[in-house]
Amino acid sequence: MTTVELEPSLSRTDVFGRSWEGRRVAIVGLGRSGMAAMDLLCRMGCRVRATEARDTPELRTMRDACTARGVEDIEIGGHSQRLIEQSELLVVSPGVPETAGPIRWALERHLPILSEIELASRFCPSMIIAVTGTNGKSTTVTLIAELLKASGHAAIACGNLGIPFSSTIGQLTTRMIAVVEVSSFQLLWCDHFRPHIGVLLNVGANHLDRHHDAEAYLSAKARLFQRQTPTDWAILNGSDPRIVGIGEQCHAQRVWFGDNHSNPPWLRLARQTQQSFTESAQAVLQVGRLLGIPDPLSWQVIRTCRGLEHRMEHVMAAPRGVRFVNDSKSTTPDSLRFALSETPGDVVVIIGGRDKGLDFGDLLEPLHRERVKGVVLIGESRSRLHDLLNGHASRAVVRECETLGEAVRAADSLARPGTTVLFSPACASFDMFRDFEDRGRTFKALVSQLAGGVLSEFEMTQI
């Protein structure tokens, strides 16, 4: 077997004092997190195997590179029971459903199953701040990391936002803070993951194709706090009764946003703060307070941080004073509801895309509010959305458009000075674009053209 030299900063012993050298580990799923887990395990001296259901030219090329890294066996295009039987534990990527063969076979053999987040936490020397929720996770994680850096802390934002936790282990030290975005799928296979500060932003209707029902989804989110002790902190959305119920079961000290509940005086949020800041921003403020960061610095970072591309991203204001927001990452009705809650004042919404048979019924109430001045529909779902909105006497002007360019122009014509044009599609992008990133960058280019502006060098390279 080919071996890989361990980086000087890494130990093959986890935080519980157990050596991983020579352990037989199977990686299930070779996406970004699976590859990061594979790399970490190879550096730990494990005997690594990997299995992937897909079969693409890229995966075949990657197979040779992984063999050179020390991976003993890689299968693509399907899973075999043989590979699982040769292993003593599994590391599962978040995209792998619980019904997949490798998981069933591992459960039958009583093999431990770990998510990539769980694996990384077992080697993490840093304090962990973890954020979960249906919407706003990536933006909140980014804001917390930026706040920590602004206050003089060394911090890394990672996890489900695109930088696997495992890929940061070689950089982390005891003097740093890991700010980790965690999804419900990753939490399903966490048994020892214990953040010093855990944040639960919100719980909507999402991923019910994987979770049995809404209660199962809620239970998965609650696992974030399962291993916490009274020396840890749970920051919770007090305006959601379901999350209040989770808080009642927490062993950690509870801190609330949205509603103050039992917050002590130094953690109480003033009414003006609750009215001026979104709930996600209030959660960031509470994290700062727990770490001794003065409120004025937190307010400054919250107000000035640009956040992540395609996630409630302010594009620019047209000459007439119309604001444009790119929320192309929105692929579900619940994400559109969240985007609307984060957008103050009058709004014109551009929605639609690949029709996956989602239930748009929950959009009727927010889209019928008086401040929604227009709804512009695109993509495969536009006819169904048009029938739904018109069938319930929408107050807003509803227009269907063939292209995104036509939709941007239509939205601009419906918007008055001070209005926000919110591009939050609530649908997948594949009917018109490669992915949500392609969709978002196209939107930004169209807005720039509309405003007569010139795209930045960064934006030009991304289109």
pLDDT, position 213: 56
Same domain, 260 and 148: yes
pLDDT, position 10: 67
Whether 92 shows a pLDDT value over 80: the answer reads yes
pLDDT, position 87: 97
Is 328 inside a domain boundary?
yes
pLDDT, position 135: 84
Q: From the CB of residue 230, how many other CB atoms can be counted at a distance below 10 Å? A: 9
pLDDT, position 393: 54
Is 7 inside a domain boundary?
no
Whether 193 shows a pLDDT value over 90: the answer reads yes
Whether 68 shows a pLDDT value over 90: the answer reads no
Same domain, 138 and 103: no
Overall average pLDDT of the 336-348 stretch: 89
Lowest mean pLDDT among 32-41, 148-157, 196-205: 196-205
Overall average pLDDT of the 71-93 stretch: 94
364-393 pLDDT per residue, tens: 889 989 999 999 999 999 989 998 888 665
Whether 64 shows a pLDDT value over 60: the answer reads yes
User: Please, are residues 107 and 114 in contact by the beta-carbon 8 Å criterion?
Assistant: no
Is 147 inside a domain boundary?
yes
200 — pLDDT class (breaks 50, 70, 90) = very high
Same domain, 130 and 242: yes
Domain end residue (candidates: 287, 304, 321):
304
pLDDT, position 360: 87
Same domain, 219 and 295: yes
pLDDT, position 463: 36
Same domain, 216 and 360: no
Overall average pLDDT of the 291-310 stretch: 88
Q: Rounded to the nearest 10 degrees, how much is the dihedral formed by the CA atoms of 192, 223, 217, 243?
A: -160
Same domain, 167 and 283: yes
Same domain, 322 and 297: no
122-179 pLDDT per residue, tens: 999 999 999 999 888 988 999 999 999 999 999 999 998 889 999 999 999 999 999 9
Q: From the CB of residue 434, how many other CB atoms can be counted at a distance below 10 Å? A: 10
5 — pLDDT class (breaks 50, 70, 90) = very low
Alpha-carbon gap, residue 222 to 299, rounded angstroms:
29
The CATH number assigned to the domain holding 91 equals: 3.40.50.720
Number of structural domains in the chain: 3
Same domain, 360 and 447: yes
Q: From the CB of residue 295, how many other CB atoms can be counted at a distance below 10 Å? A: 12
Domain end residue (candidates: 304, 322, 346):
304
Whether 205 shows a pLDDT value over 70: the answer reads no
Whether 6 shows a pLDDT value over 60: the answer reads no
Q: Which residues contact 114 (CB under 8 A, 6 or more apart)?
A: 89, 90, 91, 92, 189, 190, 191
Is 2 inside a domain boundary?
no
> What does each C-alpha distance from 71 to 35, 119, 134 come to in angstroms?
11, 17, 35
Is 161 inside a domain boundary?
yes
Whether 305 shows a pLDDT value over 50: the answer reads yes
The CATH number assigned to the domain holding 216 equals: 3.40.1190.10
Domain end residue (candidates: 64, 83, 111):
111
Global pTM reads 0.79
75-85 pLDDT per residue, tens: 999 999 999 99
Is 13 inside a domain boundary?
no
59 — pLDDT class (breaks 50, 70, 90) = confident
Same domain, 162 and 79: no
End-to-end Cα separation, the chain, in angstroms: 44
Q: Which residues contact 296 (CB under 8 A, 6 or more apart)?
A: none
The CATH number assigned to the domain holding 437 equals: 3.90.190.20
Lowest mean pLDDT among 88-97, 225-234, 454-463: 454-463
Average pLDDT, the chain: 88
Overall average pLDDT of the 40-46 stretch: 95
Same domain, 289 and 191: yes
Whether 354 shows a pLDDT value over 90: the answer reads no
pLDDT, position 394: 62
Same domain, 254 and 337: no
Q: Which domain holds residue 88?
A: 24-111
Same domain, 106 and 136: no
